[in-house]
Amino acid sequence: LSTLQIIRVQSPDGVKRITATKRETVATFLKKVAKEFGFRNNGFSVYINRNRTGEITASQNKSLNLLKIKHGDMLFLYPSCPAGSSSSSETMDTSVSQGLRPVGAPQVVEDEIDQYLIKQDGKIYRNRDQQLCRHGPLGKCVHCVPLEPFDEDYLNHLEPPVKHMSFHAYIRKLTGGADKGKFVALENISCKIKSGCEGHPPWPEGICTKCQPSAITLNRQKYRHVDNIMFENHTIADRFLDFWRKTGNQHLGYLYGRYTEHKDIPLGIRAEVAAIYEPPQIGTQNSLEILEDPKAEVVDEIAAKLGLRKVGWIFTDLVSEDTRKGTVRYSRNKDTYYLSAEECITAGNFQNQHPNICRLSPDGHFGSKFVTVVATGGPDNQVHFEGYQVSNQCMALVRDECLLPCRDAPELGYAKESSSEQYVPDVFYKDIDKFGNEITQLARPLPVEYLIIDITTTFPKDPVYTFSISQNPFPIENRDVLGETQDFHSLATYLSQNTSSVFLDIISDFHLLLFLVTNEVMPLRDSISLLLEAVRTKNEELAQTWKKSEQWATIEQLCSTVGVQISGLQEYGAVGGSTHAVAAAMWACQHCTFMNQPGTDHCEMCSLPRT
């Protein structure tokens, strides 16, 4: 008879099978366990019982047979506590959070808000009901026992009712059974043929059930990754809307902010918007085209140093109805559409670019926290801000290029048909026919309402200001069509109009900080970290320290030179000459925008030749 036996070892990373012999010593067996689980040192303990009793140590110098460990037995491995932590609560917290990660999933670092919500209880506590509860003040019954965060009856009775539970409540629902989510894995949908199938020629010559993607039946998503969008103050939105007010053309921007806890919904997440960056674009009354932005990477870098990140995008869809009353047309409603198919595809593309890091997914990411905000007319014909996301199913269809918009019906999408270049799985959705029966329809065409998740968009009663607000703010980037340019002339004007004794109040402007970093005359990308830290922490002392730097002295010198030119130009015109004639004779350097005197061939500031 063979003496070989298989011992199962369960760890927070899953179960693995170790082959051993009956007479094998404990020390030899533990070496095999360390090798199988990837431990370099003895950073783990193995127990016979789940409750951490009956520890097996190499010092016992016994065989597995003497310890009564036989074929098929389950042992339990627990990693040792990190250095500096010895409390049982920390150990349990680590083991639980790691134990939910599927076997083979990559080690990932989730967002701070996710790490915070994982540790929260999340239960909905209720007071003792005076009429229904028959027990004492310390007892609990079905009428007052705490509810789980995914309780649908509770969410439906909120005011207003909540149609989607939070993502972390959804995770609690998946992991709340007897197995505590041992087999939970959030799989990302794939619409592509699996590679590496060698039993047949590649598509379109062949396909089999092993490599063929499954058909997709669209369902309304029961959860959402973000539960609320909040602009810190009205000024952020008003300045963004100014472009439409002045031109009548639609406009687009990226939302920069942070993710925080939304306490109105159990385990909810809120996207707080602190600033809007407006990329290069071409806007008309009916369309928007996003152009390539050479500064995109720098903007993200500066935002990160300010404690911000890109949390979404915003665009306008506004048509003036009565200019005397200041009303706008109410065009997006249940009779038309809330998001067009093309906007859903764009939102899905953005969400795919900003995935949500998730420990429960074998890919290390699942869904997205990236939000979409539409500035459009409401039922009262005033400007309203409506928030949305698209579902994870929509993200998969967009990522794998399976979804198209319909040209003459913006509320309808169209699932592509398979071709010799691409195999597209069948996409279905469920509908109700005229007899009240539930039927399954092929998604050609597809109502995009199956792909949309609405999110409440709000403004706080007490405004919050990450950046200071000025009556004469610094111009916003990429608004040259309005005659609002970011250059040292505008910087000199801004500094002359803002004479606050608190330097931090003057410099705490998101668009000004971007100009200081991205201007071509004197970019401060490598020397502005101290100032960004001062703005992030609202530390006036740090800001004053940076103000004394050589870089700011050079900026002030450039601004004073520009200011002298402007005042000299005004004085010349006032004394007896033509200001416009002098302005026409002077020329602006194409590299640094410096205004040079007539008759010069090289820029007095950067010394480059006149072009």
CATH of the domain at 28: 3.10.20.90
**Do 314 and 446 reside in the same domain of the chain?**
yes
Q: Do the Cβ atoms of 348 and 332 come closer than 8 Å?
A: no
**Do 511 and 545 reside in the same domain of the chain?**
yes
Tell me: the pLDDT tens digits for 177-222? 666 666 677 889 999 998 878 888 888 888 888 888 999 999 889 9
**Do 274 and 400 reside in the same domain of the chain?**
yes
154 in a domain, yes or no? Answer: no
603 in a domain, yes or no? Answer: yes
Q: Which pTM was predicted?
A: 0.77
- Between CA 449 and CA 144 the distance in angstroms is 37
**Do 598 and 502 reside in the same domain of the chain?**
no
Cα–Cα separations (whole angstroms), residue 50 to 12, 76, 344: 12, 6, 48
Tell me which residues of the chain have a pLDDT lower than 50.
1, 82-99, 564, 566-585
**Do 241 and 277 reside in the same domain of the chain?**
yes
Cα–Cα separations (whole angstroms), residue 87 to 55, 81, 83, 235, 585: 19, 9, 11, 48, 77
240 in a domain, yes or no? Answer: yes
380 in a domain, yes or no? Answer: yes
Tell me: the pLDDT tens digits for 298-340? 999 999 999 999 999 999 999 999 888 889 999 999 999 999 9
Torsional sign, CA 534, 540, 541, 546: positive
Residue ending a domain, choose from 32, 54, 79: 79
- Between CA 544 and CA 546 the distance in angstroms is 5
Q: What would the 3-class secondary structure string for 325-376 be?
A: CCEECCCCCCCCCCCCHHHHHHHHHHHHHCEEECCCCCCCEEEECCEEEEEE
16 in a domain, yes or no? Answer: yes
**Total structural domains in the chain?**
4
**Do 407 and 528 reside in the same domain of the chain?**
no
Residue ending a domain, choose from 404, 423, 458: 458
**Do 260 and 408 reside in the same domain of the chain?**
yes
**Do 230 and 339 reside in the same domain of the chain?**
yes
Cα–Cα separations (whole angstroms), residue 54 to 57, 72, 74, 75, 471: 10, 18, 13, 10, 72
Tell me: the pLDDT tens digits for 270-284? 999 999 999 999 999
**Do 384 and 509 reside in the same domain of the chain?**
no
Mention every residue, 6+ apart, whose C-beta is less than 8 A from residue 142.
Answer: none
**Do 450 and 484 reside in the same domain of the chain?**
no
136 in a domain, yes or no? Answer: no
**pLDDT (0 to 100) of residue 41:** 65
Domain that holds residue 596: 585-610
**Do 277 and 416 reside in the same domain of the chain?**
yes
Q: Do the Cβ atoms of 40 and 46 come closer than 8 Å?
A: no
Placement of tokens 């360390």 in the chain: 34
**Do 436 and 506 reside in the same domain of the chain?**
no
312 in a domain, yes or no? Answer: yes
148 in a domain, yes or no? Answer: no
**pLDDT (0 to 100) of residue 181:** 64
Residue ending a domain, choose from 79, 99, 127: 79
Q: State the alpha helices, DSSP H only, in 132-211.
A: 152-156, 167-174
